[in-house]
Amino acid sequence: MDKVNITIIGAGVVGLAIAETLSDKYENILVLEKHGKFGQETSSRNSEVIHSGIYYPPGSLKAKLCVEGAGMLYSYCKKNSIPHSKLGKLIVAVNETEKIHLEELYDTGIKNGVKNLKVFDKNETVLLEPDVNAVSALYSPDTGIIDSHSLMYSLYKTSVASGVMFSFGNELNRIEKNKDGYLIGIKNDDYEFTTDFVINSAGLYSDHIAELAGIDIDSAGYRLRYCKGSYFSYEKKSPVKMLVYPVPHKDLTGLGTHATLDLGGRLRFGPDTEYIDSMEYKVDASKRDFFYEGANKIIKELERESFVPDMCGIRPKIKGNGIKDFIITDETSKGLEGFINLIGIESPGLTASLAIAKYVRSLLKEVA
């Protein structure tokens, strides 16, 4: 039976970043991916924003890995010619109550170590973006956008060049701990192999993988629920040149209907938040009014008819109330030595991907 040293489950941006990061120290790494190519799920269905780290509770993994990851990502983009742009972002308060929340957000951003944040009054805001509705705004000049496909391709290419093996079109459906490590089984195939270490980076299915390994995911707090986020694009020329966000939901379910631009200058609004029971990626065209009204709250004189259904993505939300952090942990205490779970890697997972990989490497160093 074949044996590999490290098996990474999932070739989304996080699995790819982990593969690339581990490849300069470890040999015999396999990435197992059920689709025929990398990045076919959440990693290619998001806003492609490089977040600065304003929103997340100070001290959380989301805050730390977002701030560190954003810096790492800008350096990586420069070094590897990945298309990106530091457009800047405004979070706009449209009334006095939101203004108070905006100031709280500023304090959170400062505590998280976000640099260059500024609070602008109405006049300063309209000097930057004349078509924005605001009584005040939080300006984050270091927020940007990235071509996530180019990033993933670069991570994939470097990993392959460093000897990482990729097995596409193979879905893991069995994990058994045995005296040699872990036995991995593949769906619709008699093929199985053993591995010393497992890194579960399976995105929307990471709770399922943890369960296959024998973890009680309810008592561990790993069970996921799916939160769909749809986008509508704006067919006319964008009236704004930077990213414009409303003040977010208190529980951070989503960041509110915001305006993002892609590298071609195309304007999109979204994502909204809709809890779903099964995976489906259709955008409901009847949501046009909802998107128009959300967008109209923060940007003036948009045309309702120019809103057209675009794409959607699904967030792997950890079940339960309140703001949830990323779970990135070695499961030795559960009897699974060398098994690292990454659960609930929702936004800012793209921004944080390189820092997450560095963190996983530090966990692995303790056991490998």
Ligand X SMILES: Cc1cc2nc3c(=O)[nH]c(=O)nc-3n(C[C@H](O)[C@H](O)[C@H](O)COP(=O)(O)OP(=O)(O)OC[C@H]3O[C@@H](n4cnc5c(N)ncnc54)[C@H](O)[C@@H]3O)c2cc1C
Q: Please report how close the Cβ of residue 122 comes to ligand X at its closest, in angstroms.
A: 27
User: Which residue matches tokens 């070695």?
Assistant: 330
Question: Which CB, 294 or 313, lies closer to ligand X?
Answer: 313
Question: Which CB, 163 or 169, lies closer to ligand X?
Answer: 169
Question: Which CB, 45 or 99, lies closer to ligand X?
Answer: 45
Question: Which CB, 20 or 41, lies closer to ligand X?
Answer: 41
Q: Please report how close the Cβ of residue 303 comes to ligand X at its closest, in angstroms.
A: 24
What size, in residues, is the chain? 368
Q: Please report how close the Cβ of residue 12 comes to ligand X at its closest, in angstroms.
A: 2
CB atoms within 10 A of CB 307: 24
CA distance 8 to 173: 14
Q: CA distances (Å), 83 to each of 77, 78, 151, 323, in order?
A: 7, 9, 8, 32
Interface positions with ligand X (CB under 6 A): 9-15, 32-35, 40-43, 45-49, 51, 171-172, 201-205, 229, 271, 313-315, 345-351
Half-sphere exposure of 216 (CA within 13 A, CB side): 3
Question: Which CB, 13 or 117, lies closer to ligand X?
Answer: 13
Torsion angle of the four alpha carbons 353, 202, 23, 163, in this order, in degrees rounded to the nearest 10: -130
Torsion angle of the four alpha carbons 17, 206, 344, 156, in this order, in degrees rounded to the nearest 10: 10
Q: Please report how close the Cβ of residue 183 comes to ligand X at its closest, in angstroms.
A: 15
Question: Which CB, 136 or 291, lies closer to ligand X?
Answer: 291
CA distance 18 to 12: 10
Q: Please report how close the Cβ of residue 211 comes to ligand X at its closest, in angstroms.
A: 11
Residue nearest to ligand X (CB): 349
User: How far is Cα of residue 18 from the mean position of the Cα atoms in its chain?
Assistant: 14
Q: Please report how close the Cβ of residue 96 comes to ligand X at its closest, in angstroms.
A: 29
Q: Please report how close the Cβ of residue 95 comes to ligand X at its closest, in angstroms.
A: 26
Q: Are 224 and 346 in contact (CB under 8 A)?
A: no
Q: Are 50 and 349 in contact (CB under 8 A)?
A: no
Gyration radius (Cα) of the chain, Å: 21
Question: Which CB, 54 or 202, lies closer to ligand X?
Answer: 202
